Amino acid sequence: MNAAIRAVVRTALVNNMNVIGVMHGYEGLVNGEFRPMGARDVGGILQRGGTVLLTSRSKRFMEPSGQREAIRKMNEAGMDALIVIGGEGSMNGANALAQQGVKVIGIPGSIDNDIWGTNIAIGTDTAMNTIMDAVDKLRDTASSHQRAFLIETMGRNSGYLAVMAGIICGAEIVLIPETPVDQQEIAASVEDAYRRGKTHAIIINAEGSGIRTTDLATMIDEMDLGFKTRMTILGHIQRGGSPTAYDRLLASRMGVKAVEALVEGTHGVMTGLKGKGIDFIPLADVISNKRKVNMEYYHMVKVLAR
C-alpha cells in the first residue's frame, strides 16, 4: 500500500494538485484526521509493508451518519476527490461516498484477492511469497520426520491464497470455503499419499474452510493414517513484510492510474488489472459482483500431488 500512496502523491504533485493524507482510514475521514503530503513525505516507504497512513476498521463510517460526517470533513478541508486503497469493505465505503456525489477512485489492496474487477490486488503476491517461503521451510521437517503438516492460511471467505499455495508449495490437499470436503475424504487422501510412498503430506487449510486446523490435526492423528501430524497457523505474518517486486510495480501503476483518472475527469471507479493493462471498473460493479476462485487451479493441486 505504501508504494501506491507514494505513486498517488507524486503523480498528483506533478499534475499540480495538493495532496492530503487521511490517517486511520475511514475512521480518520470521519474525525478529520488529515495531514498534508509532500514529495518527501513519501520518501523511503516504497519497500515498507503496512501503511504509513495507518488504518482501522471503522464501524461509524458504515452508518449513513458517519458517511455524512466524513463528507462534511472533506468539504471543510477543501478536498475535491478521494483515493481509497483497500479491500472489499473499503470499496463498499468508496461506492457509498460515490453515490453521495464524492469523486472517488478505489485501488484494490487485499491479501485475500477477493475483490471483483481485478486479476490481482496489491498485497496478494507478497502474501503468496511469504506463504511459499514458510511452507518450503516447514516441508524440510515434514520430509525428514515423515509427517503430515497442516498449514492454515488467511483469506477470510476466500480460498484464493490456499489454492495458489497448494500449487506453488506442492500440497497434497487444499481445503477452501468454496468447496467443502468431508473428513473421510481428507483422511482417504492422507492415507493414499502415505501408501504411494510420499515422505510427507502438506495440507493447506484456508481459515474460512469451515474445518478448524486443530480439529483436523486431531482427526488425522486419531485415525492413524501413516503420518504423524504437526500444524502451523501462519496468521498475520502473511500481511506484513517488504512487498515483492510484482507488488511494488502493481501498486505504483495503480497509484499513477488513479490520479490520471481524476485528471481526465473519471471517478466512481476502481483501478483493476485486466490482461496486461490497468482499467477503470465502476465501483458499483465491483461491489455487486463476487470474485470466485478459479476451480481449474483447485483441481490442478490434486493432479500435481500425484
* Annotated active-site residue in 112, 114, 125, 247: 112
Number of residues this chain uses to bind ligand F6P (CB under 6 A) = 9
Residue among 115 and 269 whose Cβ is closer to ligand F6P: 115
CB of 208 to ligand F6P, least distance (A): 8
CA distance to 37, 117, 176, 184, 274, per residue, from 295 (Å): 43, 18, 11, 21, 19
Rule CB under 6 A: is residue 152 a binding residue for ligand F6P?
Answer: no
Residue among 87 and 159 whose Cβ is closer to ligand F6P: 87
Query: Site for ligand F6P (CB under 6 A): which residue of 2, 51, 55, 110?
Result: 110
CB of 136 to ligand F6P, least distance (A): 21
Query: Site for ligand F6P (CB under 6 A): which residue of 112, 125, 172, 247?
Result: 112
Where does residue 306 rank: exposed (0-12), middle (13-18), buried (19+ CB within 10 A)?
exposed
Residue among 37 and 115 whose Cβ is closer to ligand F6P: 115
Query: Site for ligand F6P (CB under 6 A): which residue of 20, 239, 279, 282?
Result: 239
Rule CB under 6 A: is residue 1 a binding residue for ligand F6P?
Answer: no
Can 112 be counted among the known catalytic residues? yes
Dihedral over alpha carbons 105, 110, 114, 120 (to 10 degrees): 80
Residue 286 near residue 115 (C-beta atoms within 8 A): yes
Degrees to nearest 5, angle at CA 127 with 126 and 131: 120
Rule CB under 6 A: is residue 51 a binding residue for ligand F6P?
Answer: no
Where does residue 225 rank: exposed (0-12), middle (13-18), buried (19+ CB within 10 A)?
buried
Report the 10 Å Cβ neighbour count for 198.
Answer: 20
Residue among 46 and 237 whose Cβ is closer to ligand F6P: 237
Rule CB under 6 A: is residue 211 a binding residue for ligand F6P?
Answer: no
Rule CB under 6 A: is residue 111 a binding residue for ligand F6P?
Answer: yes
Query: Site for ligand F6P (CB under 6 A): which residue of 48, 156, 230, 302?
Result: 156
Residue among 172 and 207 whose Cβ is closer to ligand F6P: 207
Nine-digit cell at 64? 449513513
Nine-digit cell at 165? 499455495
CA distance to 86, 104, 185, 214, per residue, from 228 (Å): 40, 53, 18, 13
CB of 110 to ligand F6P, least distance (A): 6
Separation between Cα atoms, residue 221 and residue 228, nearest integer Å? 6
Rule CB under 6 A: is residue 230 a binding residue for ligand F6P?
Answer: no
By beta carbon distance, the residue nearest ligand F6P is 154
Report the 10 Å Cβ neighbour count for 199.
Answer: 14
Residue among 112 and 125 whose Cβ is closer to ligand F6P: 112
End-to-end CA distance of the chain: 38
> Which residues participate in catalysis according to the annotation?
112
Q: Where does this chain bind ligand F6P (CB under 6 A)?
A: 87, 110-112, 154-156, 207, 239
